[in-house]
Structure 1
Amino acid sequence: MRLTLLRKALRDDRRAILGWTVGVAAFLLVYLPFYSEFAEDTAGAEEMLEVIPEGMRTAMGMQELFTGAGFLESMVFNLYGPLLLVVYAVVLGNRAIAVPEESGRLDQLLALPISRQRYVHERLAALTIEVVYLTAVLCAIVLAFAVGLDMGVALGNIVAISVGVGLLALLFGTLTVAVGGLSGSRGLGLTVTGAVAVGTYLVHVLSDAGAELVEPLRWASPFHYYLDADPLRDGIPLGSYAVLLGVIIILAVAATVTFERRDIGV
């Protein structure tokens, strides 16, 4: 029975993992080659940027679209990369508790000689492995293009920001598991996590755009700890990433405790 649930989760998710792998690879293979056009026509890129409001350029990381770091930040790491990985993690996180409970399969799983704590831990382990895998796929493809197109970005910094994307996705995935452990509702899990993700991203964007009203709230946004230390240019920000990791651990503990104490009729 050792790690049986972990192996089962990975086996059950293999089609989803394959599909998301293809999707992320396709996205990167479509957009990354455009860097050559921006790099060769910097005047045209600057003209294009001038018609975009400054606040939007800042929010989307488009100030230096014609440089390697600016292009990767805008096209991959500011919005679309995190969006893909966060949605992936949330979908998989919802499968940990809420989906099996609503489908009636959770009773069968917990009828096995395993504790609820072990159940949550192995599902969280599966989520972590799956997020790390897709993050590695994204990182490997970006590294290949960075070298092939001579983007002039330190490869270690690409790894650094990829670690941040993975932590961000794992945070929201673990939040989904925690909400599922508390409520047993997949709809509520998606709603709460989606609201938190969108809300905290807007806080990050608006504070970067100079909105004084939300400026004090930027410290509550995971996106602040992911992007504001500028890992793509300055390397891995240990303090900021430690905050993200700390929140993930807190959410994992919360998921375990709430699920252990809730009456689900088993």
Structure 2
Amino acid sequence: MQPISRGFALVTVFAMSLAFLPAAHAEQHLTTSGFTLAIAGSSSGSAEIDLLSDTGSTVRIALTGDPANTPVLAYSEDAPRENTVFGGVQLAGTVTEGYRITSLTLSGTLNASSEITPPDFECGINCFGRGGEAGNEATIAWTLTSAGISTTLPRLNVPYIEGSAPFALATNTHTTGDFTLDIQSTLFAYAAGTMYEITHFEGGSSWISYHSWPAWSALQLTDLVLTANVSAVPEPGTYGMLLAGLGVLGMRARRRVR
């Protein structure tokens, strides 16, 4: 059952406006075949980056701590409960001279679980009941800033996740020089336990009994990986030689026609 996302849009906007905190540990740096990358800050100072692979043209980097791996949990034995967890990291990098980043992909997995405990008896006569609910919602947003221009990259918004939901957000780019990458997540969980309110009549008087059964919902972002494709930028002389070669081929083609 999907949650009632009261105020989710508001808290999402608030999360997007949060300033990153400086990293609490020594700043991490990675040097790849096409660029360098470092943690400039994160929402809780727990972000870490690890180089998974570097083929020379494709670089894969694991992101742990912020914004991944911190689960959100909502638990209710009666009244509705909701909880939101924000995470974010800012990465600062420099593309190696003579190279450019041609595409970026942010991938990961959203893992959800929930349970609504069923009542052990039916709500019959003189009974007012409210069914249990459990749900979640996730938003992943990222922004690339290069040459003083900030670009909002494809974002993910999933109103309800069941089980494991892999995702991949990809974009083409032609990034050179210095750049920053801001990645932010908002995870929301909602739960409301089943409640019965039963009115009893006995001997000319009445009384009310309350019965409840718990519900809970959990959501976590894991396996967050940044993949960058890089390529060498041809020297100006290379373009000149290419044009000259095309000109020679064109002249030969015209001579054959004659």
TM-score over 0.5 (shorter chain):
no
Q: TM-score, normalised by structure 1?
A: 0.27
Query: Which structure has the bigger radius of gyration?
Result: 2
- Choose between structure 1 and 2: higher helix proportion: 1
Q: TM-score, normalised by structure 2?
A: 0.28
